Amino acid sequence: MLFPTTGGRRRSTLFLFCGTHLFLLFLAGALLCMGMPGLAQAAPAVRISVEGVEGELRENILEYLSIEQRKREEDLSEEDVRRLYEKAPEEIRRALQPFGLYKPDVTSELSRKEDEWSARFMVDPGPAVRIREIDLAISGPGSGDARLVRLREDFPVKEGQVLHHERYERAKRMLQETAAEGGYLDAYFLEHKVVVHLEEYYASVEIHLDTGPLYYFGEITFHQEALRPEFLTRFIPFQQGDPYRISALLDLQSVLYESDYFSQVEVRPRRDLEEDLIIPVEVLLEPRKRQRYIFGIGYGTDTGVRGVLGWENRRVNRRGHKFTAELNLSEIRGSLTSRYTIPMKHPVTDHFDISAGFSHDDTQTSRSSTRLLGISYTQVRGKWQETFYLNFQQEKFTIGDESGDSTLLLPGTNWVRVRADNRINTTNGSRLLLDLRGAHTALVSDTSFIQARVHAKVIRSLGTVGRVILRGDVGTTRVKDLSRLPASQRFFAGGDQSVRGYAYNSLGPENAEGKVIGGKHLLVGSVEYEQHIMKKWSAAVFYDTGNALNRFSGALQQGAGFGIRWRSPVGPVRVDMAWALSKPDTPWRIHIAIGPDL
């Protein structure tokens, strides 16, 4: 029994010994964590102050300062702080040299308060070195290239400028990139240097470029199975044997992607296969799905709820023909149209279309049903999109107390020009549409007329948070008997895109019963100011005037109001409250419209 008793005491003593040591270790760890003097030494905090310079000068100094870069290191000692502080003035001088400042005056002071260091640097940047001499020379086969000649005559680095090293480097890159863009892919610098003469305090620049030989386009090969190679060659904006141009390759990639035939386009110049300065080009294409389905729903005050359901065959055949069918339904209009498109010489912009369709319109002023068969040819001429068309249409219509059947063979043409920084949400831009059409009894039609219309819209920024929107519509018709003209060929005014404050197509000449029957002419003008409020929201005030007329001297109706705008991915959502100023008691209407600015 003695052994168990003795053994138990030994174990108790051992447990007490171990417990005491664990407690001491725990206490030491706690004191270290609490930062007790003598047990742990916290790294000193360092505060950096740079005075006398602002902007990019100050930012570059802070990038150069070692003490700024290392001030948050946990093991930074007092010796480290003092050593980094001593290096700082020279680092500041080097940081200012890229800006042409070679004689700065730098004073500094270092202080310590408890565990925080304060390093203060006062910088007087001094005078800047200016460029007195520039020796710019271009040699080699491309020395007379028009792009290089223009760049040499208007080189970004000029005599009398402050020496700015980044501007010098950009100018060098621009020179070499311009040579490469022109097909001189091996262009290199024989000499390039900046010499700063500190005693006289000026700089001299020397740049000598050798263009090397001119390269040319070789064979262009397409890797795909969807379309005929001879059709794809119509997209190529250059020919085999033309001087090599990087921009031409980018244009090729862009037009192929914009054609909507391909989901991926990769243009590869094969310099590894170059022979006698001829570079072949390979184009790798991934076709889009042949079938595309369209579905959309929206709302507008003019149309009410509207929806669209469509189907497109992107590749009817290997010649790139397309077919589209579309059903549009709204509270005032229903239409079913189909179009067969044949790409022409420039497939992205030029095409021949055969179309057929049926539509039914039912507004508060007219009702009509129209069957149409048409052909058209569209091409780009300069900055204009030009379309020639020939439509055959049969229309049954009722306007006021007039009803009739109309058969028209309508040849016509229109020109459209759009210039915009962004067609969906435009800051600065314009759209101009000119349309001319007519019919004659000698050519199938049951009435003769000629009609012209001009639509213009201009958007201009006003400061950084506002913009002015001007809109105008002018139309005129020459016809002997207006009653023979169907509803689709008469002019009406009023609505979201016309004179706000009035219902859609509710303005125009009236019959004896006071019902609007449409007119021969159209005059509409609008001015609007839009002010940005926050993020995607803005507010607008506007004034509209116009009417459909039988004589241009007729009275114009006026509307005005205010609205809010929200920038959506498909264009601004516009909600307007407008007053019909020309009506008794100036009634008001709410107008809602969604769609791109141009």
Instruction: List per-residue pLDDT tens for the chain, 598 residues long.
Output: 333 333 343 333 333 333 444 443 443 444 344 444 433 444 568 899 999 999 999 999 999 999 999 988 888 888 999 999 999 999 999 999 999 999 999 999 999 988 889 999 999 999 999 999 999 999 999 999 999 999 999 999 999 999 999 999 999 999 999 999 999 999 999 999 999 999 999 999 999 999 999 999 999 999 999 999 999 999 999 999 999 999 999 999 999 999 999 999 999 999 999 999 999 999 999 999 999 999 998 888 888 899 999 999 999 999 999 999 999 999 999 999 999 999 999 998 999 999 999 999 999 899 999 999 999 999 999 999 999 999 999 999 999 888 999 999 999 999 999 999 998 999 999 999 999 999 999 999 999 999 999 999 999 999 889 999 999 999 999 999 999 999 999 999 999 999 999 999 999 999 988 999 999 999 999 999 999 999 899 999 999 999 999 999 999 999 999 999 999 988 899 999 999 999 999 999 999 998 899 8
CB of 496 within 8 A of CB of 512? no
Residues in Cβ contact with 161 at an 8 Å cutoff, skipping those fewer than 6 apart: 130, 131, 167
Rounded Cα distance, 287 and 120, in Å: 63
Q: Which amino acid is at 48?
A: I
- Which element (helix H / strand E) includes 8? helix 2-33
CB of 377 within 8 A of CB of 352? yes
How many residues does the structure list for the chain?
598
Alpha-carbon distance values, 220 to 165, 233, 238, 276, 349 (Å): 41, 9, 10, 16, 22
Alpha-carbon distance values, 178 to 143, 269, 581 (Å): 12, 18, 60
Which residues are paired to 356 by β-bridges? 338, 373
Cα three-residue angle 428-434-439, rounded to 5 degrees: 160
Burial tier of 356 (Cβ tally within 10 Å: 0-12, 13-18, 19+): middle
pLDDT, position 43: 53
DSSP state of 144: T
pLDDT, position 461: 95
- DSSP, collapsed to helix, strand or coil, labels residue 43 as coil
Alpha-carbon distance values, 105 to 51, 68, 165, 373, 526 (Å): 12, 20, 20, 83, 61
CB of 399 within 8 A of CB of 489? no
- DSSP, collapsed to helix, strand or coil, labels residue 177 as helix
Buried/exposed 288-299: b ≥16 CB within 10 Å, e otherwise: eeeeeeeeeebe
Strands 571-580 and 557-568: antiparallel
Q: If you write DSSP's letter for every residue of 232-245 in order, what string do you get?
A: HGGG-SS-TTSBP-
Rounded Cα distance, 181 and 183, in Å: 5
pLDDT, position 1: 30
pLDDT, position 44: 62
CB of 169 within 8 A of CB of 189? no
Q: What is the dihedral of CA 477, 483, 484, 488, to 10 degrees?
A: 60
Cα three-residue angle 35-37-43, rounded to 5 degrees: 60
* Structural domains of the chain sorted by starting position, each given as residue range(s) with its CATH number in brackets: 45-124 (3.10.20.310), 131-210 (3.10.20.310), 216-287 (3.10.20.310), 291-594 (2.40.160.50)
pLDDT, position 401: 85
CB of 486 within 8 A of CB of 404? yes
CB of 291 within 8 A of CB of 311? yes
pLDDT, position 2: 32
39 — phi, psi (to 5°)? -105, -30
Rounded Cα distance, 309 and 293, in Å: 8
Which has the closest alpha carbon to 429: 562, 597, 565?
597
Rounded Cα distance, 112 and 559, in Å: 72
Rounded Cα distance, 474 and 525, in Å: 9
DSSP state of 561: E
